[in-house]
Chain A
Amino acid sequence: MNSFPIIRVITKLLIPYILLFGLYVQFHGDFGPGGGFQAGVIFAAALILYGLVYGLPAVHKVAPPKVIEKLTALGLLVYAGTGLACMLLGGNFLDYDVLNHGILTENHFLPEGQHLGIFLVELGVGITVTAVMTMIFYAFAGRERVTS
């Protein structure tokens, strides 16, 4: 891809906006269309685009495979941990109504109850989906072609 300067420049211009859009979809998913699944895929698409144009070593520097592998498990743990936290606070598994903390709620600085639960769960989904999609791309792109 070194011989296509237009693609390289345009990619560099596009990627910040793709990431920003991914963040918007992730954190605005309760209000508009969106959520963890979509945001994860969009985030992974930005990383994959970078990898396609600048090569695998460059994207490995941005998102090291070891970190990505750990993130896949972390997302699932955030999800299950939210459920467990609800249990510890006296509710059922994934019953977000008990997540009322009463701090900084005047201006909706921190969401409460159901809203906080959905936020955390979507965050977990987003992390897992991003990491799994990126990891699958790494696995395919890192594979060498065998000519037999």
Chain B
Amino acid sequence: MMDLIVIPILALLAATAVTVARIRNLWAAVMFTGIYSFLSASWMLILDAPDVAFTEAAVGAGITTILMLATLSLTPRRHRKSGRLSSEDFEERPSKSPLVPLLIVTITGCALVYGTFDMPHFGDPNAPIQVYPQPSFVEKSQPDMHGLPNVVTAVLASYRGYDTLGETAVIFTAGIAVLLILRKNTDDQGTSESQSVTGENA
């Protein structure tokens, strides 16, 4: 019964990825990326990771799409076509042959598939990842956390708290970096100044 849900999701996931690779229209590609994120969030939910699915749906389908659309609106292309998809959107540029990248990708993919033959099977309860920390976090968290049910939060904030502090610092740093790169135009004083700078360069 579950296969009836999983197989269409995986097929759509693969189809969306290929569409993103083939499509030339950037606006459409961004929208397909949002769909791709949403489909992968659905698969994550089926794979028992509701926390991750949650985040992926909000981040991948929501905020990434908005930021990419904002970037597209800030970087107008010279050959703007109408909003509707046409056959031209799928055409390759004549200048560059897609054969070499395809060859590289196929070889890498085959090597990776060969590598999976040594991997544990899907859902195997005896895989190394399932048996290594003994007792596992699921068993440990019950006495340690005095009955907090969500093990993911317990591991995130308590067992690996130092790690999460570092991740938060990375987010903070990235935010500051974006602000430093893009800030010039946000306040009124900087606007005229930066416009004159870009005017000179152009």
Query: CB within 8 Å of B: which residues of A?
Result: 25, 29-38, 41-42, 44-45, 48, 52, 65, 69, 72-73, 75-76, 79-80, 83, 93-94, 96, 113-115, 117-118, 121-122, 124-125, 128-129, 131-133, 135-148
Q: Knowing that A65-B186, A118-B145, A139-B182 are A-B contacts, what are 4 other residue pairs whose CB atoms are under 8 Å apart, sorted by A's residue number? A: A32-B149, A44-B63, A118-B153, A143-B182
- Cβ contact within 8 Å between B164 and A33: no
- Number of B residues contacting the other chain (C-beta, 8 Å)? 49
Query: CB within 8 Å of A: which residues of B?
Result: 50-51, 54-55, 58-59, 62-63, 66-67, 70-71, 73-74, 76, 144-146, 148-150, 152-154, 156-158, 161-162, 164-165, 168-169, 171-172, 174-176, 178-179, 181-183, 185-186, 191, 195, 198, 202
Interfacial chain B residues near A125, Cβ < 8 Å: 157, 164, 168
- Cβ contact within 8 Å between A118 and B158: yes
- Cβ contact within 8 Å between B182 and A114: no
Interfacial chain A residues near B76, Cβ < 8 Å: 145, 147
- Bound CA span A32–B191, Å: 46
- Cβ contact within 8 Å between B169 and A35: no
- Cβ contact within 8 Å between A83 and B161: yes
* Residue of B with least CB distance to A113: B146
Interfacial chain B residues near A94, Cβ < 8 Å: 158, 161-162, 165
Q: Pick the contact of A72 from B66, B71, B176, B185 — CB < 8 Å?
A: B176
A41 CB to nearest chain B CB (Å)? 4
Residue pairs across A and B with CB atoms within 8 Å: the count is 153
* Given A93-B162, A128-B172; A143-B67 close (CB under 8 Å): no
Interfacial chain A residues near B182, Cβ < 8 Å: 139-140, 142-143
- Cβ contact within 8 Å between B74 and A145: yes
Interfacial chain A residues near B158, Cβ < 8 Å: 94, 96, 114, 117-118, 121
- Cβ contact within 8 Å between A33 and B148: no
**Would you call the interface of chain A mostly helix, strand, loop, or mixed?**
helix
Interfacial chain A residues near B144, Cβ < 8 Å: 114
- Bound CA span A80–B164, Å: 11
- Cβ contact within 8 Å between A45 and B63: yes
- Cβ contact within 8 Å between A69 and B179: yes
- Bound CA span A126–B70, Å: 24
Interfacial chain B residues near A93, Cβ < 8 Å: 162
* Given A118-B148, A128-B172; A33-B70 close (CB under 8 Å): no
